[in-house]
Amino acid sequence: MIDAEAELGRRVQEFLAAHPPAQTDRDRFLRARFEAGLAWVDYPVGLGGLDLDNSVQPAVDAAFAAAGAPDNKPQSNVIGLGMAAPTLLQWATREQQERWLPPLWTGEEVWCQLFSEPGAGSDLAAVGASARRDGEDWVVNGQKVWTSLAHTSRWALLLVRTDPTVPKHQGLTYFVVDMQSPGIDVRALRQLTGEAEFNEVYLDDVRVPDAQRLGAVGEGWRVTQTTLMNERVAIGGSVGSRETGPVADLISMWREARADRPELLDDVTRLWVDAEALRLASALSAQAAERGTPGPEGSGLKLAFAQLAQASSSLTLDVQGPQALRYDDWTEHRPDLTTPPDRVPGYWYLRTRANSIEGGTSEVMRNIIAERVLGLPAEPRVDKDIAWKDIPK
């Protein structure tokens, strides 16, 4: 193991020597890193990796960063890296993988996810966008929503209904669709913060080659599970130090303003406590995962994170006092997702409302905990055994 790590370290140094970051074109450098198997070291050889354990990835990334190598701007392609890549790894053919994975990893091609619809939110399996077979293609029609990055994406993961006459989970099929295809209309969706972080995507007779299908026809729900599982992982994230994360602004604002607002001490302390409890629980969960015995805490941590982020951003306004009424920017614009935006507390009060909706609502998290962790029975289901088309909508 230690030999293997040393060997890997040598490989990285050799690569850096052969491709000095300062003298190498960014895209060429990244493509070469992918080809050398130093992109995702746990991926197969030929697909950006070396079939190693993913625990060694941080050391590789650190070595590249230390050498001043360009990174693949992961924040610009979160869905591609976090969700599309593992889904392709599991479900795509080798040929598909070789086409899609390299530019995905280098960031040359950004990915998005066409899953949610106005009528299929928490109940994702209810998607109504349809695909009809026509020769070697499928013809897709429908409307998707909450699509972040649709406006910068080359490819999308698409979940559609190919058979409305069977129960809802059975009639779905999963495709990769070229966002440059005719018939795709991406419209910015302005949200309550003023920004347009998400999009609505209208699909009007969009042709998708059958060769871009992942999994069998009717197997779309299973493929979707792979994608969603990785979404949850991505949301987990790392454990910061004390007073970072959702309470950071609150605590620093408090230390500035506390002399004027002593009545808020107990409220602030309560959230300090909640933040530290969540941080320790996240650390415990991460330690268990590192040891190879991951627990079922993810849904609970997401739930607690949303509550904490919302409560903290709300109290920050109370602590801030008169200036809290000052907003910064209501103009409709695309947020820069690569760095956390430097915005006023009022912005965060509004933005954190989404923490309990995006990536699985808090209500869905509670269902998951109750059923999968605590083993409580599912509620009576009225839509399980009937054809999708017969479900009341």
Partner 1 sequence: MTELPSLLPHEVDTDLRDAVAKLLEDRSPIDAVLHRCDAPEPFGDGARALWAGLTDDLGVAGLPLAETEGGAEATWRETAVVVEALGRAVADIPFFISAVMATSLAQAAGATGLLRDLATGHEIGAVVTPFAAPFEPRAEVGLHGSRVAGRVSAVAGALESTQLLVPHPDALLLVRTTDATITPLPSLDMTRRVADVELATVEAVVLAEGREAQQAVQRAAHVSAAMLASEQLGLAEYSLESTVQYLQQRRQFGRVVGSFQALKHRLADLWTLLIQARAVARYAAACAGAEEGTAAAHDLPVAASLAQSYCGPVAVKIAEECVQLHGGIGFTWEHPAHLYLKRAKVDALALGSAAWHRRELAKQVDL
The footprint of partner 1 on residues 214-273 (CB under 8 A) is 238-242, 251, 254-255, 258, 261, 263-270, 272-273
Check if 379 is active-site: no
- Residue 165 half-sphere exposure toward CB, CA atoms < 13 A: 0
- Please, what is the minimum distance in Å from the beta carbon of residue 378 to its own copies? 12
Stretch that binds its own copies, among 153-161, 198-206, 335-343, 375-383 (CB under 8 A): 375-383
Q: Is 377 in the site for its own copies (CB under 8 A)?
A: no
> What residues from 261 to 290 belong to the interface with its own copies (CB under 8 A)?
263, 266
Strand partners, 202: 143, 185
Q: Which of 231, 243, 276, 363 is catalytic?
A: 231
328 makes contact, choosing from partner 1, its own copies, none, with CB < 5 to 8 Å by partner type, with partner 1
Stretch that binds its own copies, among 46-54, 108-116, 205-213, 374-382 (CB under 8 A): 374-382
Tell which residue, 175, 180, 184, has the closest CA to residue 203.
Answer: 184
3 state DSSP class of 3: helix
Angle at which helices 265-290 and 298-320 cross, to 10°: 150
171 neighbors 388 (Cβ within 8 angstroms):
yes
Site string for its own copies, 328-367 (x = CB under 8 A): ----------------------------------------
2 makes contact, choosing from partner 1, its own copies, none, with CB < 5 to 8 Å by partner type, with none
- Please, what is the minimum distance in Å from the beta carbon of residue 263 to partner 1? 4
Site string for partner 1, 278-297 (x = CB under 8 A): x-xx-xxx-xx--x-----x
Nearer of residues 182 and 380 to its own copies, judged by Cβ = 380
Q: Which residue pairs, CB below 8 angstroms and at least 24 apart, start in 378-385?
A: 383/126, 383/167, 383/168, 384/167, 385/167
Interacting residues of 49 by C-beta distance below 8 A, sequence separation 6+: 37, 39, 40, 41, 42, 43
- Please, what is the minimum distance in Å from the beta carbon of residue 264 to its own copies? 10
126 makes contact, choosing from its own copies, partner 1, none, with CB < 5 to 8 Å by partner type, with partner 1
> What residues from 335 to 354 belong to the interface with partner 1 (CB under 8 A)?
346, 349-350, 353-354
Interacting residues of 337 by C-beta distance below 8 A, sequence separation 6+: 75, 76, 78, 148, 149, 197
Site string for its own copies, 77-116 (x = CB under 8 A): ----------------------------------------
258 makes contact, choosing from partner 1, its own copies, none, with CB < 5 to 8 Å by partner type, with partner 1
Which DSSP category does 212 fall into?
G
Q: Is 382 in the site for its own copies (CB under 8 A)?
A: yes
Q: Dump the DSSP string for 79-143.
A: HIIIIIHHHHHHHS-HHHHHHHHHHHHHTSS-EEEE--BTTBSS-GGG---EEEEETTEEEEEEE
Q: Is 378 in the site for its own copies (CB under 8 A)?
A: no
Interface residue with partner 1, options 189, 248, 257, 387 (CB under 8 A): 189
Q: Is 371 in the site for partner 1 (CB under 8 A)?
A: yes
Tell which residue, 145, 249, 143, has the closest CA to residue 204.
Answer: 143
Q: Is the dihedral of CA 282, 113, 75, 227 positive or negative?
A: positive
135 neighbors 244 (Cβ within 8 angstroms):
no
Give dist(CA 7, CA 328) in Å, integer. 51
* Interacting residues with its own copies (CB under 8 A): 263, 266, 379-380, 382
Q: Among all residues, which ones are annotated catalytic?
A: 231
